[in-house]
Structure 1
Amino acid sequence: MASATVTVDLVVRDLLHEDLAACAWTGTPTHLRYISAALGRRTSGAVDYLAVCGPSDLPLGVGGVDYRRRPDAGWLWQFVVHPAFRSCGLGTLLVRAAEDRIRQRGLAHAELGVDAANTGARRLYERLGYRVTREQDEEWDDIDAGGRVVRRRSHCAVLRRTLPPAAA
């Protein structure tokens, strides 16, 4: 079996509506509609929505920052990396870029919720310096396989990180 190391340049940029057609891997069609709605909130300054892209400029990971959920912190949400590129550092790159956006807003904290069953994501965030501050239940509407609206519920750990000042 042959082995090789390949280095690829990555860029983190704003996610665009035109990118959504290439983001089916992020989840259900309902999830894509939520992302589209979030992109619509960007013009008011309520959110940032980012994409990490490779040389093809196609999103390999996406995630948002909501500035209205917490008055003293940017709320990270809907972070997901394409399954083929997980554990390659893209999630870390995306989180750090989101933290930079939060700092640019003059906020000193980033916060997020992680489903109790998502131990891999929790390990990542803890490795990046996030600490559990509380637990809470989250609810959202989704569409089931039959096309019916269903209410989903998840028990989450809320993690917070005090952001260091931007490097000079």
Structure 2
Amino acid sequence: MSEVVLPLTVRDLTAEDLYPGFGGWSKTYLEGTFTALDRAKRGEVDFLAVCPPSGIPVATGGVDYAKPSGIALLWQLSVDAPLCGCGIGTVLIQALEQRIRDRGLALAELGFDEKKSRPRTLYERLGYVITGREPGAWDEEAPDGTVTRYETMITVMHKELA
């Protein structure tokens, strides 16, 4: 078995990175991402992409600074499924945490769907601790355009940034 090591770059996500089917995301999700990119232009959020030499994002995620009390919210964290477990999520989160520090904030928050346990392991390894639970719900669009309501419980985690 061979190991291939590729350099990764982290940069701001751009509208040019998005196209129908990007990351397997629905039209509704892509529209939300375009909205987030507009907010990034106003300095309300940072939205990053992790890319191999091709320049095509293999992971994306954002940090929202609009939460009260100086808490920065990490959200829309995504790594292409075949690449999960390769350390790319760690690269993305550490870059987002640096953006938070650069803003002079010291507390990061994120949440994960309790029906999906894999992210929890990563977040705990990176120093996040559970601080609560809250209901979560959103609309999910199927490839045929039908929309269903998804409801779950979200585990909320915090990390003090040095």
TM-score (norm 1): 0.89
- Once the two structures are TM-superposed, the CA of residue 152 in structure 1 deviates from its matched residue by 3.0
5 Å-filtered alignment, 1:71-90, equals 71-90=69-88
Say if 2:6 is the partner of 1:8.
yes
Q: Does 2:157 correspond to 1:154?
A: no
Deviations for 1:28-87, whole angstroms, at most 9, x for unmatched residues? 222111111111111111110000000000000000101112432110001010112110
Question: Offset of 1:153 from its aligned partner?
Answer: 2.3
After superposition, the CA RMSD in angstroms is 1.7
In structure 2, the gaps of 5 or more residues are none
Say which of 52, 55, 61 aligns to 1:54.
Answer: 52
Unaligned runs of 5+ in 1: none
- How does 1:36-115 map onto structure 2 within 5 Å? 36-115=34-113
The answer to whether structure 1 residue 20 and structure 2 residue 18 are counterparts is yes
Offset, 1:132: 0.3
2:132 maps to: 134
Change (3 A) 1:26 1:39: farther
Q: Structure 2 length as normaliser, TM-score?
A: 0.92
User: Distance between the aligned counterparts of 1:153 and 1:76, measured in 2?
Assistant: 20
Deviations 1:95-152 (A, max 9, x none): 0000000001110011011100110001110110000001001233443555355443
Are residues 149 and 7 of structure 1, via their aligned partners in 2, closer, same or farther at CA, if it must alter by over 3 Å?
Answer: closer
The aligned amino acid for 1:157 is T
**Separation in structure 2 between the aligned mates of residue 99 and residue 24 of structure 1, nearest angstrom:** 24
Aligned residues: 162
